[in-house]
Amino acid sequence: MAETSSADLIGSLDDAKLSRFHLRAAFVSGMGFFTDAYDLFIIGIAATLVKQDWHLDTTNLAVLNATMLGAACLGAVLFGRIADVVGRKRVYWLVAAVMVVAAVGSALAPSFWALIAFRFLLGLGVGGDYPVSAVLMTEYANRDHRGRLVGLVFSAQALGLVVGPLIALGLLGSGLSTNLTWRLLLGLGAVPAATVVYLRRRMPESPRYQVEVQGHGDDAARQLGRFSAGAIRGRAAPTGTGRMGVRQFLTDRRFVLLLVGTAGSWFLLDYAYYGNTISTPQIIKLISPGASALTTIAIQLAIFVVAAVPGYVLGILRIDKIGHRRLQLTGFAMMALCFGVIGLVPGMTTAVLPFLAVYGISYFFAEFGPNMTTFVLPGELFPISVRATGHGISAGIGKFGAFVGVFLFPLLESSFGLRGTLLLAAVISAAGFLLTLTLPEPAGRSLDDISAVSEAVPALADPAAALPAATS
């Protein structure tokens, strides 16, 4: 049997046509991300019911809303590193199993602090899913459709945003008790997670990881037919390069510069995005105090369907043409503008329709921009032996931003009002735009080329200058 070089194997993966396997991989990763989004965002609705049922004060409510996000910080960093050490596939299904246990435990929680404990465990699983889903899909993908495929995984968040309020509307309209409603809302997250465990155990390990890190070229060659329709056959020479240690990674200023850009922009995005999204029921109550619980959820659902979903769809279709970095810049700029209009124009927070229009536009550009690209970029910009580590650190710091935003929103709103709180979100979005300028444009380039350039960038140079702009 003829021997095939690792360069030929990876080249075949880069040049492969879009196949059913790519779509299957996106579906399997996306199912997990649907669960992530459902579990993360349903708490905004469930918490209002728990507050009524258990008579929570403002501090307890903030803790409940933010606990899962705080745990996701740790889960992303921890499981990201594990995925670089033991392989992507093992972590891929393990984090889904953690989500099953935690969702069931949340539904059965006998007390506030038991609920907090299970939400913390759920956050560990959700946080771990971020780096492994993004990196595995990135490494399965071909060069020309990489952004679209990874974006397709992330876009499953849109379904989680829509399905959660729909289920809540159905349960509340059925006349079930408050106690049973919030327990069902939290427990239903276990259903898709259990399906994900089964599907992910059947997925192959990343061929790039097998060749470039483990040196298991034969295993990668046997699996490559799934990606390239049998374009390359034969035995592959083992070429594993080993693993870069965390200390080496974090003391190399070239990679630290990239982390500042990927993690910093993700932190700023999640501060603004999650703080507003999970607090959307409270925001609607502020601009329309007389709205019922059903009306509030219906308005939230309308915002997601009319603004967020089209943003996801257009982002998937255009990300590889516009450029991943360029799309992030556009989204941050428009978010800053929208939040600035709400914060600076008198009367915006008391006029329901103008507020919802501008607020909806901010949602559109969050999805058609940094909410998607902050997930895509870290999986492309770091070398393979620390790719999940870099993505995990970025996602963890991003989720810390979400934790801060969700925890502080009710406190800031009570001190500075809704206008002041959203004006701060405008400043945060502008800072995200500036940090994005430090990143290179990876669209249309092979992962090996991107890594080679990243490793060659002088330690104190601007990495954005090392790669030419993507063509549109």
DSSP conformational letter for 175: T
> For residue 58, is pLDDT > 90?
no
Structure tokens at 115: 């609920």
* Inter-residue contact 316 to 82 (CB < 8 Å): no
Residue 26 has pLDDT above 50, yes or no: yes
The answer on pLDDT for 466 being more than 50 is no
Confidence of residue 56 (pLDDT cuts 50, 70, 90): confident
pLDDT band at 6 (very low <50, low <70, confident <90, very high): low
DSSP 300-346: HHHHIIIIIHHHHHHHHHHHHHH-HHHHHHHHHHHHHHHHHHHHHST
Structure-model confidence comparison of residues 459 and 339, the more confident one:
339
The pLDDT of residue 96 is above 90: yes
- Judged by average pLDDT, the poorest of 148-157, 174-183, 344-353, 455-464 is 455-464
Question: Is the model's pTM score more than 0.95?
Answer: no
Q: Given pLDDT bands bounded at 50, 70 and 90, which one contains residue 434?
A: very high
> Hey, is 4 helix, strand or coil?
strand
What does the pLDDT average to over 221-250?
60
Q: What is the mean pLDDT of the chain?
A: 85
* H helices present in 141-252, as ranges: 146-173, 178-187, 190-201, 207-209, 217-223, 225-228, 246-250
Separation CA 408–CA 410 (nearest Å): 6
pLDDT of residue 240 exceeding 60, the answer is no
- Residue 432 confidence (pLDDT) above 90: yes
What CA–CA distance (Å, rounded) separates 179 from 267? 34
Question: What percentage of the chain reaches a pLDDT higher than 70?
Answer: 85
Residue 16 phi/psi, 5-degree rounding, is -60, 145
Query: For 257-303, what is each residue's pLDDT tens digit?
Result: 999 999 999 999 999 887 776 667 767 776 777 777 777 778 878 88
pLDDT at residue 460, rounded to an integer? 35
Output the CA–CA distances (angstroms, integers) from residue 432 to 83, 270, 334, 426, in the order listed.
28, 10, 11, 10
On whether the CB atoms of residues 324 and 376 are closer than 8 A, the answer is yes
CA separation for the pair 230, 233 (Å, rounded): 6
The model's confidence at residue 57, banded by pLDDT at 50, 70 and 90, is confident
Taken in order of first residue, the domains within the chain and their CATH numbers are 3-465 (1.20.1250.20)
pLDDT above 60 (res 227):
no
* Nearest alpha carbon to residue 401 among 378, 434, 431: 431
The 10s digit of each residue's pLDDT in 363-389 is 899 999 999 999 999 999 999 999 999
Residue 421 is predicted with a pLDDT of: 86
The predicted structure's pLDDT at residue 283: 74
Residues 107-157 pLDDT 10s: 999 999 999 999 999 999 999 999 999 999 999 999 999 999 999 999 888
Q: Residue 468's pLDDT is what?
A: 38
Q: Report which of residues 251 and 407 the model is more confident about.
A: 251
| 340 has a pLDDT exceeding 50 | yes
Question: Is residue 457 helix, strand or coil?
Answer: coil
